[in-house]
Amino acid sequence: MAGIALKNLVKSFGNYTAVSEISLDIRDGEFLIMVGPSGCGKTTTLNMISGLETPTSGEICIGGTVVNDLEPGERGLGMVFQDLALFPHMTVFENIAFGLRVRKVPAAEITRRVVAAAETMLIKPLLGKLPKQCSGGESQRVALARTIVTNPTVFLMDEPLSSLDAKLRVDMRTELKRLHEQLKATFIYVTHDQAEAMTMADRIVVMSKGRIEQLGTPLEIYNHPMTQFVAGFFGTPTMNFVEGVVEIGAAGARFCGAGLEQTLPASVCADLCGRNVVLGVRSEHVIIDGVAASAAGTARLLQPLGDATLVHFDTEAGKSLVAKVAPSTELAPGLPLKFRFVPEHCHLFDATNGRRHS
């Protein structure tokens, strides 16, 4: 059993702090995905868990034991790297067998386990080949077979799908999810691809500038972002943001900004009155129709996606927004339109620190 606990973990390189006091409990058997832009500290955190980086301060516990002073090989982890790190001078068999040879497992046992791992990953015919003779997807499976063969309790994955083409990446997501179900091990997966995070994770950690912005299930992160950064990072296209102030009138709370007036949900606190806020609304919650409460704008660009069409338009005040509408829309660039936001799906963030006002 291997839950992982990170306690006040800090990693500095000279004056630069890559990871700043993060604390995190990862449950046993969980598929946790760390996501964030480049340089947010997610890979550094993963490397500290693996033992490849030494924390500047803080504690790492695996299965209840502090492992700060243990060598990477003594932590019972398996890791898949971004570049896969297959040994180019060894055959696929030797690559998979390497960890077992290092542990001085008997030869017959090595063969049995390597073949079993190869069968699990459907790469048995590749065992005699060199990594350079394998395709991208095959190499990916070899890297996974090499990791599972030593039966680690925790799998660390550092953007393992980033080198694959879009189709293969989607297939491998399913494969990884299946592997997780099958092995029931703890998976910690690092990516900057929000789609990967949304589709595979039990929980997602969103990181920015060395800090944890939010920890939650994919739907919590998507529907209830705790900061403007998280709201902007998840979702395609990016959430629409409009700066303005909250006004409380007889009809309830309203948002006023960029020439727009938007009714806010009744749950918005009165003490937000007069505060500078950023209103966030996803494109699918921008409705383009002709009802009375709508504001006016002009369509600028249409992007058909097949199942929907993205309409990029400018408000009368010149603010650019995006709406996701049915593909049958009759809009065209340059035509006027009327739009409104769905009040229940409007998010308010503090204009200064980006935190959510719920």
Partner 1 sequence: MRVGRHAVLLAWTGVIVFPIFWMISTSFKDAGEWVAWPPHWLPHYPTLLNYAQIFAFGALDPTLSRQATEQAFTIWKGLGDAALVCTTASLLALLLGTFLAYAISRFRVGGKYFRHTILMIRMIPPIVVAISILIYYAIIIPYATTALLGVRISMFDTYVGLVLIYTVTTLPFVIWMMLTFIDEVPYTLEHAARLMGAGRIQVIRCIVLPLVASGMVVTFLFVFILNWAEFLLALTLTHPEVTTLTVLLNKFQSAAEGRLYGPQAAIGTVVTIPVVVLGLLIQKHLVKGFSFGTIRK
Pick the closer one to partner 1 by CB: 11 or 146.
Answer: 146
Nearer to partner 1, 89 or 184 (CB): 89
SS3 109: helix
- In the complex, minimum distance from the CB of residue 50 to partner 1, in angstroms, rounded to a whole number: 6
Pick the stretch among 19-27, 85-93, 256-264, 270-278 that binds partner 1 (CB under 8 A): 85-93
150 interacts with partner 1 by CB under 8 A: yes
Residues 36, 55, 99, 218: which binds partner 1 (CB under 8 A)?
99
Q: Which is nearer to partner 1, 147 or 227 (CB)?
A: 147
Q: Which of residues 23-82 bind partner 1 (CB under 8 A)?
A: 50-52, 71-74, 77-79, 81-82
Closest Cα to residue 49, out of 200, 204, 149, 153?
153
List CB contacts of 305: < 8 A, sequence separation 6 or more: 327
User: Least separation, in Å, of the C-beta of 133 and partner 1?
Assistant: 10
User: Crossing angle for the helix pair 136-148 and 107-120, nearest 10 degrees?
Assistant: 130
* Total of chain residues touching partner 1, rule CB under 8 A: 25
Taking the chain, what is the end-to-end CA distance rounded to the nearest angstrom? 37
Q: Could you say which DSSP state residue 227 is in?
A: B
Q: Which one of 89, 267, 306, 353 is in contact with partner 1 (CB under 8 A)?
A: 89
CB of 85 to partner 1, least distance (A): 4
Distance CA 84, CA 161 (A): 9
Q: Which stretch binds partner 1 (CB under 8 A): 14-22, 57-65, 99-107, 318-326?
A: 99-107
CA–chain centroid gap for 207, Å, is: 9
Residue of 25, 87, 119, 314 that binds partner 1 (CB under 8 A): 87
Residue type, 253: A
Q: Where are the alpha helices (DSSP H) in 83-165?
A: 92-102, 107-120, 136-148
Neighbouring CB atoms inside 10 A of 358's CB total 11
Among residues 1, 69, 88, 106, the one that binds partner 1 under rule CB under 8 A: 88
Nearer to partner 1, 72 or 354 (CB): 72
DSSP 176-220: HHHHHHHH--EEEEEES-HHHHHHH-SEEEEEETTEEEEEE-HHH
Shortest distance (Å) from residue 103 CB to partner 1: 6
Restricted to residues 102-121, the positions that interact with partner 1 (CB under 8 A) are 102-103
- Does the CA dihedral 228-230-231-235 come out positive or negative? positive
Smallest distance, partner 1 to C-beta of residue 176, A: 18
Contacts (CB under 8 A) with partner 1, residues 165-184: none
In the complex, minimum distance from the CB of residue 297 to partner 1, in angstroms, rounded to a whole number = 49
Closest residue by Cα to residue 50 from 159, 156, 168, 188: 156
- Whichever of 77 and 264 has its CB closer to partner 1, that residue is 77
Q: How far apart are CA 199 and CA 321, in angstroms?
A: 26
Binding site for partner 1 (CB under 8 A): 50-52, 71-74, 77-79, 81-83, 85, 87-89, 98-99, 102-103, 131-132, 146, 150
